[in-house]
Amino acid sequence: MMAKNRISLEINGEAVEADVRPNRLLSDFLRDDLALTGTKRGCETGVCGACSVLVDGDVVKSCLSLAIQMNGCSLTTVEGLACDGAPSPLQKSFMECGGLQCGYCTPGFLMAASDLLARTSRPDVATIRKNLSGNLCRCTGYQGIVDAILDASEKMHGT
């Protein structure tokens, strides 16, 4: 058995201390050790983006990251987007604009969109599509997702 290492980090605003093996994937750590199952496993190769989380504000694929690398970092998962348990404006836009169907890719798209909107308050369609290129959706044809992000950017940052 591989020795475990103690890590300290912040997840969704809460301090977390855990003992992890050096090879523990961040996606498995979040899902299996912390029961944060909103983060999904879709490809295990960093292509589909369903496992995306924010690490110190930047979108990161948790299936390509090790838990041990997160020592001292601040993470946001999909569970951390809600405001007092209610959907955030971005989440609301995904719900209302057809930004989700089966919902499996949705957490990843929400994280990618959060990252984009934090850097660019009113992105145009081409910028949105380019910034979603690390995430796959098989249901929506991306149209509802693009519409949702446009809608959210308008509601969050005005016209």
Partner 1 sequence: MNAFAPGLPTPQVTSQEKALGRATYAGDLKIAGMLHAKLLRSPHAHARILNVDVSRAIALPGVRAVFTGDDVPQRAWGVKHKQQHVLAREVVRFVGEEIAAVVAIDEDTAEEALDLIRVEYEPLPALIDPSQALEPNAVKVHPGGNLADEIGIVRGDVDSAFAEADIVHEETYTTHSQYPGYMEPMATLATTDGSGKLTVWTATQSVFLARQRLAEALDRPVSTVRVVQPTVGGGFGGKIIEERSSVIAGFLAAATDRPVRLCLSRIDDMLSGAFSVPMKIRLKMGMTRDGRITAKDVSIRADCGAYAGLAPEVMLVTAMRSDNMQRLEHTRSHAQLVYTHTMPRGAFRGFGGTQMAFALNSHLTAMADLAGIDPIELHRQNAIRTGDLSIHGWKIGSCGLPECLNQIEGAIGWTEKRSRPKQRGVLRRGIGMAAAMHVSGNRTMGNWDGSTIVLKVNEDGRVVVLTSEADVGQGSNTMLSQICAHELGVPLSHVSVQTPDTDFTPYCLGSIASRVTINAGKAMIKAAREARETILAAAAEKLGCDAIDLTIEDGVVQSTSNANHFAKLPDICRYHIFRHGGEGIHIKATHDPDTVMMDGDHYGNIAPAYSFAAQAVEVEVDTETGQVRLIESWLSDDCGKAINPLAVHGQSNGAAVQAIGWTLCEELQFEEGRLMNGNLADYTMPTADSVPEMHSSIVESMDPNGPLGAKGASETAILPGAPAIANAVFDAIGVRITDLPITPEKILAAIAAQKEKRDA
Residue listed under structure tokens 């960093």: 46
To the nearest whole angstrom, how small is the minimum distance from the Cβ of residue 6 to partner 1?
20
The verdict on 47 binding partner 1 (CB under 8 A) reads yes
Cα three-residue angle 49-50-51, rounded to 5 degrees: 90
Distance between CA atoms of residues 49 and 33, nearest Å: 20
Site for partner 1 in 49-78 (CB under 8 A): 50, 77-78
From residue 103, how far is each of 21, 37, 108, 119, 120 by CA, in Å? 31, 13, 10, 25, 25
Site for partner 1 in 18-37 (CB under 8 A): 31, 35, 37
The verdict on 128 binding partner 1 (CB under 8 A) reads yes
For 99-142, where are the alpha helices, taking DSSP H only? 106-119, 125-131
The verdict on 153 binding partner 1 (CB under 8 A) reads no
The size of the interface with partner 1 (CB under 8 A), counted in residues, is 54
User: Given candidates 100, 116, 117, 152, which one binds partner 1 under the rule CB under 8 A?
Assistant: 100
User: Given candidates 5, 64, 69, 87, which one binds partner 1 under the rule CB under 8 A?
Assistant: 87
Nearest to 42 by CA among 109, 101, 88, 115: 109
The verdict on 125 binding partner 1 (CB under 8 A) reads yes
Q: Is 87 exposed, middle or buried (0-12, 13-18, 19+ CB in 10 A)?
A: middle
Residues that bind partner 1 (CB under 8 A): 31, 35, 37-48, 50, 77-79, 81-82, 87, 91-92, 94-96, 98, 100-107, 110, 125, 128-130, 132-133, 135-146
